[in-house]
Every structure is written in C-alpha cells, then in structure tokens.
Structure 1
Amino acid sequence: MARGTLVNVAALVWMAAARDILSLAIAYVLVQFSSNAAQAPFHALLPDIVPEEQRGLVSGVMGLLAIAGTIAGVVVAGLFIAASQPLPAYLQGLWLTYAIIIAVLLALMLITIVSVREKKYPAAQGDAQDFAPLAQNPWFKRIPPYQLRNVFGTLMVAGAAWGIMQLWNGQLPGLHITANVQQVMLELIVTVGLLRLFDFNPRRDPDFAWVLLTRLVMMLGIYTIQAYFQYYMRDAVGVPDPERQTTNFVIIISLTSLVSALAVGWLSDRFGRKRMVYFSGGFMALVGLTFIITHSLVIVLAAGAIFGLGYGAYQSVDWALVADVLPSEKHFARDMGIWNISLSLPQVIAPVIGGPIIDHFTHAGNPLAGYQVIFAMSIIYCLIGTVTVRFIKGVKR
C-alpha cells in the first residue's frame, strides 16, 4: 500500500507537469495502476479487522467517505482551477489542487500504516515449492514460473492482437478499427491475463464471480451515463452552460448519496445485502427512464437526486458484498485486486460502446435518439446487475 501510494504521488506530479497529450496519457495510466495497487491491500485489511456482523455498516461508512471525497474534489477543483484564467494563474491553481490531493494521500497512508495492525498468514507448502526454483534469481526471486509464463504469454497475445489490427487497418481501410476499439481489445486481453495471473476461477468460486459480474455491469450502467452527460446537457437539454449544469448534477447526486449511503449500509446488516442492491438498481434504472422521456433541466436535476439515493445505496453495500464471498483469507489483497478490475474495466468499455452510437445518430440528424439509446442501455445494465445478485448464495438475502 505504501509503495503504491508513493508511486501514485509521483504519477500525480507527472500529470500536473505534463504539457502534451502523450505525456498526460502515460501519467494517467500510471496514476490508475498505482491507485489500484494501493487500494487493493487497503481493502484487504478491512475483512481482517471488521466483524462480519458489522460489514454492512463499515461498507456504508466507506461509501459515505468516498462520496464525501467526490464532493471535496469537485469543490477544491472549482475553487482553484478555471480554464478562463490566464495561464500562470491556471497553472498555479492546478499545482495547488494537486498538492492538496498529494497531502491528503500521504497523510492518510501514514495514519493507516501507523495505526492498523494487519494479520499475518503463514504461506502454504505449495506456495513455497512454487517459489523454490527461482529462489537464487536476483530478478525473479519471488515470482513463480507459472506467473512468468502467464505474463509473457499475455504480452505476446496482446502484441499479436495489436499487430493483426494494424495489418487489418492497412489492408482494409474501409473497415477501419478505431483507436478506442483497439484500446478495449487490448484491455480485455490484459484483463484476462490478470485474472489468470491471480488464479481467478469462476467454477471454483462462483459467488465471487457473480459479485464481480454484478459490480461490472452496475458500474457499466453508471459510466454509460457519466461519460456523456455533459454532451446530453448540451444537445438534448439545450442548456447554454453544460459544464456548470453537469457540475450541479454531480453535486446533487453526491449530496443525496450521502443520505442513503450510511443508512443502507446499516440496514444491509439486518435485512440483507441483496435487498439493498435491488433497491439501488431499481432507483438508478428509474433515472435512466426519466432521461429518455423528458429533457427539462428541472426534471433532470430532480432525477439526479433520485439517482443519488440509488447510487449511495449501492456504494454502501458494494464492499460488504465482496467481503462476504472472498475465496481465501490468505489472498485477500489478490482477490481485492481482481475486484478492482470490475471498477476500472467499465470506464474503458462504456465510452467505446456509447461513442459510436451517439456519432451514428448525430450524423443521421437525430442526436437525441443517440442519447435515448445509451440511456436505455444504462437501464438494461442496471437491471442485469440487479438480477445477477440473486445468484450469489454466500451473502444475506
């Protein structure tokens, strides 16, 4: 966790200093990677120190703090960063914002390291045998051979896929594979490689697999709306200041999320996680339906308040749901790393699916239909996520 946070800090400094798209993109990828590297062991600490009967409450507290962090981030960025400012003032505000983020990260990391005592698990005999062949190798001292084969195999498959796509584009320019589609294809290959690397086995651990699928689909529904909401405000609602109204929408969602997050987390300990997911999925699907049938700014903002109740409810049981079905106490950090994939992957997939749909209808002269289609997709995603939670047998009803 400490190493991931320190790399994250360095990557944030790189992002603040980046002055071209390539440098910014590389820094952003490093920020995401290091953030996941720090979060996975942090989340893995919690099952060790939180009693099972209090997981819902703690999950609600985590959801509450995550939402509060979102609000604080919006407020801090709004106070110090404005694109309309002269460049020196803009850069000063940018660096100040990043400095605040870095200070918070370092302070909370130190508090966690000093105050939390993690449980030690003895290594299994099989693990020791796996590590033995490389015990004398200074470069791969702690990496089992099967993991090295997996890493190199994944890199080879990803490289071959990239080469095939470049060859395809060179030979068939009329059927061009866009850069976004190429990115998703490579992300999927790497994701499969990571799942194999982390010994993910849906047949052996079906409950864990259903939790991952539930979260992936639910977050896909959320990011499908989030990725294009500013453009929806501009093209469908027709507001003159879509950036400001989108910010207002996010603030409204965050505030109403605070109302439901802690309460629903506490309720999930008493009445079950699944019922809370049914509640949250239904609320978020209802909001998607509102965006399809009306385009009034007042109604859209009111719908955001309803969405916030559902989003806060889901955030509050998200961690408790996975904590109840983690396959192995010895590998909490590894399994939490897999769990984080179900959050990061939808962020990549949602824009690639939604973008071409909106472009198609915009070129056809009916941009409103494009937004109606992607919001209908968001409803379907939320409903699928609500249904799949029924198949998780290892959690409260």
Structure 2
Amino acid sequence: MRVPEPAVWRGTLAQQMVLASFWFSLNFQGSALMTIVLPEALLRRAGPAHTADLARLAALAAAVAVTGRPLAGWLSDRIRRRGGRRQHMVAAGALLDTGGLYLMAVTGGLRDLVGGFVLVAVGSNVAEAAYEVLLPEWVPGDQRGQAAGYMGAAVLLGTIGGLGTGALLPAAAVLRLMMLAVTAGAVTVWLGVRPGAAVPAAPAAAGRGGVPRDFALAFLVRFLVTFGQVLLMTFILYFVRDVLHLTRPASGTAGIAILALLGAVLASLGMGRWSDRSGRPLVVALSGLPMAAAVLGFALWPRLDAMLGFAVLYGLGYGAFLSTGWALALDTLPRAEHMGQDLGWWGTASNVPAVVAPLVGGWILGRFPRPATGYRVLFLLAAASFLTASGAALAVGRRREAGAEPRLPWGRALLARALAAAIWTYARLRYRIHLQGRLPAGPGPVLVVANHLHDLEGLVLPAWLGLARPWRLPLYLVASQRLFEPGFLGDRLGGTWGRLLAWVPLPQVLTALGVLPVENQLHRRPLRSVAYEVYQRHGDRPLGTVFLPRALDGLDPAAPLRVLWGDRARAARAEVTPAVLQSPYRAEVIASLRPRVEAQLAAITARFRQGGILFLTPEGRMSASGAIGRLRLLWDRLAPLARAVVGVAVTYDPWAPGPLTCYCRLIPIPAGADLQQRLAAARPVVPSQVWARVFRRHPQGVADRQQALKAALALVDRLPRRALAAPLLRDPQAALVRSWEQARRAGAVVARPGGGFGWRPVQDRRFPLAGDLVAYLDRMLAESEAAWAAEAAVQ
C-alpha cells in the first residue's frame, strides 16, 4: 500500500477536528465504561463486593496500560522509522477494543465481563500509544497549546457524551455506541491524519538543558492530577448512592460530571491558546487551584445543590489542565526520534495512579464504618494531590541561581502558601484568633520567638507567617524531636485521625515543609521515644530485652518495640530516663545524646545563616505551669545572627464563651533585651486570668457574685491598659460576667450550701499539662506583673 504524502499543518478547524477525533472516541468509551456501565454491572453481578471488585478491575486495567503503553510506543517508533504509519497500530488497537466491547455487550456472566474488559484495556492502550504521537509529529511546537486545546475539548465532549448515554440508555446499547464511536474515530484517523517528519520539542524547552528533569516534572504533574481525578471518578457513583442517597445514582453522577465538563470544554480551548503565548508551567499550575477548591467543597459540604456549583468550578480547572498539561509534556520530550516510546512512559503517569488510586480509595472507604467520613478523607486526599501538582508545574524550567538570596522553588512556595492558607482558614473557622502586629520588612534572617502554651499556636503562627512573609522567602519551624518519632502525633491527636497517623512516617513530610528537629528533653523522655532510639540502631527487639521490668508497667516483655508506636497506654507515654534501659543500650543512648543535639543545633544554625524566617518556641516544649520557658542553647546561637527578632506574646482565654480564644501580640525584641521579660510584659491579660487571681486571693469564697465582680473590676483598674485584651478594654464588666458564667460551667465556680460561691481547682482537656487551670492562669498573670515591675524599675 502506498503511504500518503504528508500534509502541511495549517491549523484549520478541519485539521484540528480530524486530529482530535479519536480522543472523542476513546473518552466516550472510557467515561461511560468506568463511571457508570461497569459499576452498575458489578452491582448486579457482584453484590456486596461491588466496591472491592471495581477497585480491582480498575487497577487491573491500569496495570495493563503501565506495561503495554511504553512497549506499544516503542513499536510505533520502530514502524515509523521504517517508513510505516502509526495508523496501522491505531487500527489494530481499535479492532481489539471493539471486540472486547462486543463480548461485554452480548454475554451476561461475570467471567465474560472481566475478559471483555481486559480486551478493551489492551486494545485502547495500543491504539492510544500510537495515536498520541500524531500531534507532535504534525503540529509545530509554537502551536501545540492550541492543538492540545482542541484535543482537550474532544476529550471533554467525548466524556460528556459517554456519561449522558450511560445515564439514559441500557448498558447493552451504550456498549454498542462505544463500538461505533471507536470504529468511526479509527477510520477518521486512518484517512485524514497524514503527518510529516517529527517536529522537535519547542526551542525554549530544548535550550534550557536538563530537559529530562522538566520531563520528569511534567510526569509528576500528570501523575498527581490523575491520582486525584481517579479517586473521584472511580467512586463518585457510590458516593452519590451511599452519601447523597439519590434513588437514581447513575443520573446524579452523570449530572454532576456533565456540569463539570461543559465549562471545561471552553476552558480547554481558551487556555490552550493562552499557554502558547504566556508559558505553560504557569497556566498548568493555575489550573490545579480550582480543582482543589472544588474537591474541598465536596468534602466539607456534601449536598447535591452545593456539589453542582463545585462541579462547574472543578470543570474550569480540569479543562485548563487537560490542554496545557498535555502541551507541557510535549514541550519537554527529551528525544524527538523516540517520541512514541517517551510518550508511552509519560502515559504511565496516568496509568500508575489508575492502579494505585482505586486501591487507595477502596482501602480508605473500607477503614471507616460511616461512608460520609470515608469519602471526606478521600476528597481531602484528592485536593492535596491537585495542590501538589500545581507546585510541581511551577518548577518546570526554573533553576536556582548560585549566590542569590535563598528562595523557595516556585512549586514549594505555591504549595507552602496553599497549605498555610488552608490551615489559617481552618483555625479562624474553628477558633477565635486575635493577632496584632506585623513582620519587619527588609532582607536578612528574621527570628520569630513565641511562648508555647497550646498546640494551636503551633498551627496558627506558622500559617500566619507563611502568608505574611515575602513570596518565596523560606520559613523554617523548629519543633521537638518527638514530632519526628512514630506514635507521637497519633497519640497527641487521638481519635480516628490519631489512629491513622500513628503509623504514618512523618519525617520526610515535615522536612519538606521546613520543620527542623531539636532534642528538647535531654534527661526525661517518653518510653516510646527511648525505644525508638534503640529501634533505629538495632531493629525491632523484644521489650523485655531492651528495658528493665519496672519500666514496662504491664506491657508484655515478649512484645516488639513497635507496639509502642500505636499504643496509647500510660506506659508508652510515661517519661523515663535512660536508666530504665538494659545494658548495653543504656550506655549507647547516653553517649549518643550530646553529639545528636550538637548536630541538630549546627544544622539549624547553618540553615538560619542563609536567610529566611525561623519560628521558635522555648525549646519546642509547652508550658506546664503557664510560665514562659527559657530558650537555652538555640537562643544564644541564633539571636546574634538575626537581622531582627520578633517576639510573639501568646495568651489563651479558656473561660471565654464559644470556641477557644487565642491572643497573639507581635513585638520587636531589641538586641540584648531579656526575651522572657519582654514576652511576659506584652502578653495580653484576659478575663480568665483576672478571675483566677480573684479565686486565689479569696480562698474562702465570696458572699455573692456582685462581691466577686467588684474584686475583679478593682483588679482590672490596677492593670496597665496596654496589657489588657480587647474585651477588657471595651467593656470590662460585660466581659467578666460572661467569663464568670463559663467558669461556672467548667466547674471552677461552685455554689456553697450556705450561700455564696467558692472555687476549686479544675482541669481542662485543652490544656493537658495544666494540672490546675486556676493556678495555671494565675501564674501567667503573676509573671506579667513581675515583668511590668522590672520595666518600671529600669525606666
């Protein structure tokens, strides 16, 4: 057969439609098959095991693609170099595909259904591996964004058509329509696409050097977006059925998807053309933001009316990514003569997550007895995947210049700011946060030091700093070594999240976020922490061979050290010294302590010398008494290196109505100043502290509330006005009355049988280290009073 002469690419509408036609066919088939036809077939044939069976089949199809796509791409390159046409492979793959669809349509058994599905997976991947190379072979590099936009529109229209027919027609009829669409698309490609010699990658990409790095980043972007998308698409029908409780889940699924895809068609065409002019990494990065926002909406507001709006938002981002993400990959292809093979490997960025995501999603949904909770976790994971993809896209083509002021890569900067915004938004919605002051402007390292009373400021202040700092300026957080050890975070959080995180390895994640460890418990540490030191050196030993019997407190001596990571028992959390270790572990742990601390301090100091902002609390430890802890080693090393030192005076008002209230006041710390004194003097005084002082000064109680209120108002009048929190400045009497009522509900104020009121020590689970919250609050106020007196004496 004579090979047709190559056609010149002019970018006409007819050429664009012919080139994009088979994308319509493949996605008409794929959307209906995986989202509606196959799930419904499994509901009828597999019964209660439908979720697990769907996850296995989706993973099986993706496994076929992972192994077959690179091989098919290599074969299509070989055929092309020998003068043949890639369309031969497109036709062969389409033939296998339609054969599998026919088998699924005419048979009713589960075995035939699976066999036909495998044939469809093999055929569609063979055809797509050859077909996807036709675009870079025919279209010049500076027009690929526009062509990829038409490709994206074809993908989306095919998806809409597949979902619509899947929702309206019987499964057998839909399968026959798929056969027709695949056949028509393959014939159109055979007759209408006649590319010439391969067009190399865009000069901007090829001339940067290190294109394989950019290709790897493009691979990562597609992997992450596909991972998040597969999590949604695989289980959305079951979400509609089990959480939204629609009587016709197929129609509901199709409606949500079609709304998303309608907007995506226009976004794909417009963004593809824009990316040819504005640079694809930025457009790809921006496309991930509306997808992440929409999926967060799915997680937080699982109602049909809200989901319809979020679906449109998701579609805008997905349409932009579909065209520009594809063009970004074409721009970064490392070898023009092996485009089929390289695109085959790049295709695994979709296929590998298609294997992993259904398994991960099935595992998540199986872990939670309430479907709504499982789907919420699944959607949050998808949103995190989209945000990370946006960060990776910004890193394509960028290099860090030697000798320049330290700057985060664009990807990490975008991810860090998105994470900070999410945490800050969560904290403001969940708690009452009052923050005064600002960061100093100008270059050079800035040290931010806060007193540490609660886990909340450990979230709020880094999140605020992440938003307030200059764009791309590094932010480092010094945290306790315990945070890097297994079991700590799960034990601290408790509940479902605690049980899940108890087994998650966090050091890599924390390091990527700029968290630096410091050993803040030099002499006494939790038993699990001491066990982890032994585990790192010697592996998983029996508890009885590592610890003396008095340290185990009911734990099985034959149990391995790893039981302590997930064990919330008192023995695992009890603070011990190395003296509870058996020999030779005792001497080994003691000898390693000083070198490890010195190495950590040196690493933190070296990082701070380079610039950026470093956030520090008193050796990473929460106060057990309310007093401000002293910064020993780190403060002496870091303060002389800082261009500016900012103190954050933190106070909590536990007896304020509503959510926990936190006050943070930023103040400059001059060189040579007493940090502890400055923080204590600036710490806002809240109504809870005033009542704690009244309670402590009147141990016998009061005759009535009016007498107590009079004593509290007299105390407020004696305090410096600059030290008062806003409620005590605006209307001290109203603030104190509200606080009194909350103290009564908390059990601190008790009515006496003979009349009047007395007080008693109370505990608050929000402040687990404070044995007596009244004494805790009074100690804070006493420390502030001492600081005011010291300042007045100097003046």
Q: TM-score, normalised by structure 2?
A: 0.36
Q: Counterparts of 1:110 and 1:241 in 2: how far apart (Å)?
A: 36
Change (3 A) 1:358 1:111: closer
**Match of residue 318 from structure 1:** 325
Paired AA for residue 239 in structure 2:
Y
**In structure 2, which of residues 385, 407, 418 is the aligned counterpart of residue 381 of structure 1?**
385
Change (3 A) 1:240 1:111: closer
**C-alpha contact 1:36 1:337 (8 A) present in aligned 2:** no
**In structure 1, which of residues 17, 26, 44 is the aligned counterpart of residue 133 of structure 2?**
44
**Match of residue 182 from structure 1:** none
Q: What does 1:171-186 align with in structure 2 at a 5 Å threshold?
A: none
Paired AA for residue 383 in structure 1:
L
**Match of residue 66 from structure 1:** 155
**Match of residue 252 from structure 1:** 259
Change (3 A) 1:326 1:299: same
Paired AA for residue 259 in structure 2:
I
**Match of residue 231 from structure 1:** 238
Aligned-pair CA distance for 1:302: 0.8
Q: Deviations over 1:323-362 (max 9, x none)?
A: 1011212111112222222222222211211212222211
Change (3 A) 1:238 1:80: closer
**Match of residue 629 from structure 2:** none
Paired AA for residue 56 in structure 1:
G
Structure 1 regions of 5+ residues with no counterpart? 83-93, 122-202
Q: What does 1:152-167 align with in structure 2 at a 5 Å threshold?
A: none
Change (3 A) 1:77 1:374: closer
Q: Counterparts of 1:212 and 1:24 in 2: how far apart (Å)?
A: 32
**Match of residue 2 from structure 1:** 91
Aligned-pair CA distance for 1:298: 0.6
Aligned-pair CA distance for 1:316: 1.6
**Match of residue 107 from structure 1:** 184
Aligned-pair CA distance for 1:381: 0.7
Aligned-pair CA distance for 1:18: 3.3
Q: Tell me the secondary structure at the aligned position of residue 252 of structure 1.
A: helix
Query: For the aligned residues, what is the CA RMSD?
Result: 2.1
Q: Counterparts of 1:295 and 1:8 in 2: how far apart (Å)?
A: 37
**Match of residue 263 from structure 1:** 270
Between 47-56 and 103-112, report the one with greater CA deviation.
Answer: 103-112
**C-alpha contact 2:96 2:122 (8 A) present in aligned 1:** no
**C-alpha contact 1:77 1:97 (8 A) present in aligned 2:** yes
Q: Tell me the secondary structure at the aligned position of residue 132 of structure 2.
A: helix
Paired AA for residue 69 in structure 1:
G
Paired AA for residue 350 in structure 2:
L
Are residue 294 (structure 1) and residue 294 (structure 2) matched? no
Q: Counterparts of 1:373 and 1:310 in 2: how far apart (Å)?
A: 21
Percent of residue pairs identical: 31
Aligned-pair CA distance for 1:299: 0.7
**Match of residue 733 from structure 2:** none
Q: Which has more radius of gyration? A: 2
**C-alpha contact 1:37 1:337 (8 A) present in aligned 2:** no
Q: Deviations over 1:50-69 (max 9, x none)?
A: 11111111111000011111
Q: Counterparts of 1:391 and 1:20 in 2: how far apart (Å)?
A: 49
Q: Counterparts of 1:292 and 1:113 in 2: how far apart (Å)?
A: 45
Aligned-pair CA distance for 1:318: 2.4
Paired AA for residue 28 in structure 1:
F
Aligned-pair CA distance for 1:79: 4.0
Structure 2 regions of 5+ residues with no counterpart? 1-89, 199-209, 399-409, 411-795
**C-alpha contact 1:224 1:354 (8 A) present in aligned 2:** yes
Change (3 A) 1:204 1:274: closer
Q: TM-score, normalised by structure 1?
A: 0.71
Change (3 A) 1:358 1:330: same
Q: Deviations over 1:63-115 (max 9, x none)?
A: 00111111112233344316xxxxxxxxxxx1x43333223322322222223
Q: Tell me the secondary structure at the aligned position of residue 392 of structure 1.
A: coil
Aligned-pair CA distance for 1:204: 8.0
Greater helix content: 1
Q: Counterparts of 1:24 and 1:377 in 2: how far apart (Å)?
A: 31
Q: Counterparts of 1:224 and 1:70 in 2: how far apart (Å)?
A: 17
Paired AA for residue 154 in structure 2:
L
**In structure 2, which of residues 96, 99, 115 is the aligned counterpart of residue 26 of structure 1?**
115
Q: Tell me the secondary structure at the aligned position of residue 73 of structure 1.
A: helix
**Match of residue 284 from structure 1:** 291
Paired AA for residue 76 in structure 1:
T
Paired AA for residue 67 in structure 1:
L
Q: Tell me the secondary structure at the aligned position of residue 77 of structure 1.
A: helix
Paired AA for residue 305 in structure 2:
V
